[in-house]
A and B are shown apart, each in its own frame.
Chain A
Amino acid sequence: MHELSIAESVVQIASRHANGRRVTKVWLKVGHLRQVVPSALGFGFELVAEGTPVEGAELELENVPAAGLCSNCGAKSQLGNFPLKCGACGGFDLELLSGEELFVESLELEEV
């Protein structure tokens, strides 16, 4: 369950950027190809946030769809399930444009 490790890292990042203030909300961008299970991440987040400035904060996940640039026909397309293929010509040789994101975008902090 990599969600727990991800949750630990998110809480660490949020705590550090909070500079002693309380965090009330965390926005996390998660690419579609990361195979993150939202419920598992939410559960892990609640657990590891206990006793930190992030305790009780809301975790908002923004799913980023996968998109790719086809090396064959040059079309940009949204990618769904595997195999990842170009929506225009069906080619498999793609440069990924998005879908592998995994970062803390922003925080909501309580004013002191």
Chain B
Amino acid sequence: MHRTAVKKVVLEGVLDANEALAQANREKFDQAGNYVINLMSSPGAGKTALLERTLERVRGRLRLGVLEGDVQTTLDADRLARFHIPLVQVNTESGFGGECHLDANMVRSGLGELPLSDIDVLVIENVGNLVCPAEFRVGEDTRVMVYSVTEGEEKPLKYPLMFRSADLVLVNKIDLLEHLDFDLELFIANLEAVNPGVSRMLVSARTGRGVDEWCSWMERRKPT
């Protein structure tokens, strides 16, 4: 029998399925009254350290919850456990050796473990990676990126997808500036080139510099 081919027009977005799940997460967050931050960075930029400093400060003022995303281990969640906050770890290792980002479905799988109605601000700490997390919405209100000065000035130009998608950039490890050749002005210029007018704060999770400003930023966004 002779086989022939037929062309079928589809026009379906590759990320549509994820978007639909992100929207479902979004509705859950809205019902519970959560402001949701998708926290992204490369590995080792200081997301967890910054969260530790944050939790020390906002205790009693802001009910923070954290969803930790990592390929493997519960090391980050273990670090935050001492704060006795609503906390869940999602590991992405199923699949081909571990996904390099959280997607909406993975976040959904962790939400059952969190008492959402007891949370003002939910921080979703994404897997450390400068590309993939930017592509997958998880139902967040805002995207905050942690960038450390040890990563060099040129990364916004090399990884524009993520830098473009950030609403706020926390420039971390600012206490190391005097020991590095990092050119802060050049970095800001590169950041401006890919994301004109993006908000940024200079912080140090080690010394605590700028952390109050970041905490105030979060408190201002606490749903009323």
Would B100 and A1 count as touching, CB distance under 8 A? yes
Q: Does A106 contact B (CB under 8 A)?
A: yes
Q: Does B12 contact A (CB under 8 A)?
A: yes
Q: Does B10 contact A (CB under 8 A)?
A: yes
- B125 CB to closest chain A CB (Å) equals 18
Closest to B8 in A: A107
The answer to whether residues A110 and B5 also contact, given A5-B103, A13-B12, A35-B131 and a CB cut-off of 8 A, is yes
Most buried by A among B12, B156, B164: B12
Of the candidates B14, B161, B193, which one forms a contact with A83 in the assembled complex, judged by CB atoms under 8 Å apart? B193
The answer to whether residues A34 and B161 also contact, given A10-B14, A13-B14, A104-B10 and a CB cut-off of 8 A, is yes
Closest to A22 in B: B3
Q: Does A6 contact B (CB under 8 A)?
A: yes
Interface residues of A in 73-112 (CB under 8 A from B): 82-84, 92-93, 102-111
- A106 CB to closest chain B CB (Å) equals 5
Would B10 and A5 count as touching, CB distance under 8 A? no
Would A17 and B132 count as touching, CB distance under 8 A? no
Closest to A47 in B: B96
Residues of B within 8 A of A6 (CB): 14, 135
Q: List 14 A-B contacts (CB under 8 A).
A: A12-B17, A28-B14, A35-B131, A35-B159, A82-B157, A102-B15, A103-B12, A103-B14, A106-B7, A106-B11, A108-B5, A108-B7, A110-B6, A111-B6
Question: A2-B135, A103-B12, A107-B8 given. 10 additional CB < 8 A pairs?
Answer: A2-B136, A13-B14, A82-B160, A83-B192, A83-B193, A102-B14, A104-B14, A106-B8, A109-B6, A110-B6
